[in-house]
Amino acid sequence: MSTTSEDEEKIADDEGGSSEEESVQDEVEIQDEENSEADDEKQSEGDSDKSLTFKDLGLNETLCKACEELKWKTPSRIQKESIPLALQGKDIIGLAETGSGKTAAFALPILQALLDTPQRYFALILTPTRELAFQISEQFDALGSCIGVKCCVIVGGMDMVSQSLQLGKKPHIIIATPGRLVDHLENLKGFNLKAIKYLVLDEADRILNMDFETELDKILKVLPKERHTYLFSATMTKKVKKLQRASLKDPVKVEVSNKYQTVEQLLQYYIFIPLKYKDVYLVHILNELAGNSFMIFCSTCNNTVRTALMLRALGMAAIPLHGQMSQNKRLAALNKFKSKNRSILISTDVASRGLDIPHVDIVLNFDIPTHSKDYIHRVGRTARAGRAGKAITFVTQYDVELYQRIEHLLGKQLPLYKCEEDEVMALQERVSEAQRTAKLELKDIEESKSNRFKKAGTNTIDDSEQFVGARKRLKPGGSVKKNWKRAKKK
């Protein structure tokens, strides 16, 4: 099996950052200044015409009814702009703030075209992460349920044989991550993409990252030249121009935000703290804002697990999600958070792209993102589709330059989130005990992981919520310091 099947796990590894040159490149805005005034006029027209319906955009009654069942009353700005152009058969580059309904902007025209000319292997949607692939599949299933649309999700971390059987049934829509799709193209006899009529790159700027360039080139070579291509993202970089020349024909750029920006309903703050007391401030904020649903972003897989174990030791319902977990564990973690069984999801940037979880109230940037544009995606997990939300970024003495880049990108200074220092430091002792417990449990997880690796040849951190290796050694009610010494002797 090709190693590229774990393509999206490179995202987890990429969190540590790449070259300085890429960082600068990522922050370059792709803007057409000559057309910015025209774009602003279009926006104001779209905002004033609130009576516009999906039927007015040119969609047929079946799809309009599907939108009504999903309680979508009026199209969003990106949908108003892009759907009519897509129905005219044009290639599109769609740029809109996160949470603005980009998925439906390409799903609805594809489903309408599928109704007009039904065929198998009709559209291919490429995404950078597995979780986003499953979410897009749910959206297609919901919109196409009344017309019998068959979707197939092809991602790494899942059984290739069962995926081959799904592809053998010839679905209408294939939603895939680039690496695993290349695996099937190379290893599955009789499978090809010659019939594809529509290609969509969701979160296009991330797919165009160097990590996916080889796989994407292989996929583009086997796709027919006569097709419609859509690129959609909340942020775009100069790398898009390269692909634009290679695979789009006279594309129309639809920008409903004329710079990198976050939605107006999102309240954004920063908190300046010493690195030493980062965990203490995190626990204080979680206590102070208790009752809300949190997404906490960390920079590494190891830190997500450590933070989750620490918060669990303090009795908080936290669950980690990162690229080194098995795919079933990743989906289980996401489902627990979506169903509100857990109120705190601690994740790497693997969950920063496109995931739509309506009940997220607060996003905490526990580790500041290396690339400024990733900040846009992270905070976009809250305040979606017109709702309110809050984002707080932790800035230590070592993060000042990265934080200044974020403010420069946003074009504004964020207000300080005020905390009473005395109240925060009162938690220090409890947090220190929880840190020690987490350290013990993390050590046990690492040991069991290395044992499994020797036996099965797999190297994944499957952090199970039932894992209590260290806690068994820490007797309840006893002194933590004494138990810590006993545990060390054992």
pLDDT at position 90: 93
Mean pLDDT of all residues in 353-371: 86
Domain residue extents for the chain: 54-255, 266-442
pLDDT at position 243: 64
**Listed residue (392, 421, 454, 428) closest to 276, CA to CA:** 428
Query: Token pair for residue 193?
Result: 């993409």
How far is it, in rounded angstroms, from Cα 417 to Cα 207? 34
Q: At what angle do helices 77-87 and 36-48 cross, to 10 degrees?
A: 110
H or E stretch including 231? strand 228-233
How far out from the chain centre does Cα 387 lie?
A: 19
pLDDT at position 384: 72
How far is it, in rounded angstroms, from Cα 474 to Cα 487? 8
pLDDT at 285 over 70: yes
pLDDT at position 393: 96
Residue 117 burial (C-beta neighbours within 10 Å; 0-12, 13-18, 19+): exposed
pTM given for the model: 0.69
Higher pLDDT, 284 or 482: 284
pLDDT at position 453: 56
What pLDDT, in 10s, does the model give residues 79-122?
999 999 999 999 998 887 766 788 999 999 999 999 999 999 99
pLDDT at position 452: 64
Give SS3 for 29.
coil
pLDDT at position 197: 96
Q: Which 8-state DSSP code applies to residue 223?
A: S
Tell me the percentage of the chain whose pLDDT exceeds 70. Answer: 77
pLDDT at 23 over 70: no
pLDDT at position 465: 53
pLDDT at 295 over 90: yes
pLDDT at position 475: 41
**Residue 8 contacts residue 323 (beta carbons within 8 Å):** yes
Query: 179-205: buried (b, 16+ CB within 10 Å) or exposed (e) per residue?
Result: bbbbbbbeeeeeeebeebbbbbbbbbb
What pLDDT, in 10s, does the model give residues 55-74?
999 999 999 999 999 888 89
Confidence of residue 37 (pLDDT cuts 50, 70, 90): very low
pLDDT at position 265: 79
Q: Which 8-state DSSP code applies to residue 477?
A: T
Which residue matches tokens 């305040």?
383
How far is it, in rounded angstroms, from Cα 472 to Cα 269? 40
pLDDT at position 379: 87
User: Which backbone phi and psi does 314 adopt, to 5 degrees?
Assistant: -95, 5
What is 54-255's CATH number? 3.40.50.300
pLDDT at position 21: 40
pLDDT at position 240: 62
pLDDT at 455 over 50: yes
Higher pLDDT, 152 or 43: 152
pLDDT at 11 over 80: no
Alpha helices, H only, 326-426: 327-338, 372-379, 400-410, 421-425
Domains 54-255 and 266-442 share a fold: yes
What pLDDT, in 10s, does the model give residues 297-308?
999 999 999 999
How far is it, in rounded angstroms, from Cα 135 to Cα 124? 15
Confidence of residue 261 (pLDDT cuts 50, 70, 90): low
**Average pLDDT value over all residues in the chain:** 81
Mean pLDDT of all residues in 428-446: 93
The CATH classification of domain 266-442, taken from the options 3.20.20.140, 3.50.50.60, 3.40.50.620, 3.40.50.300? 3.40.50.300
What pLDDT, in 10s, does the model give residues 182-209?
999 999 988 999 999 999 999 887 787 6
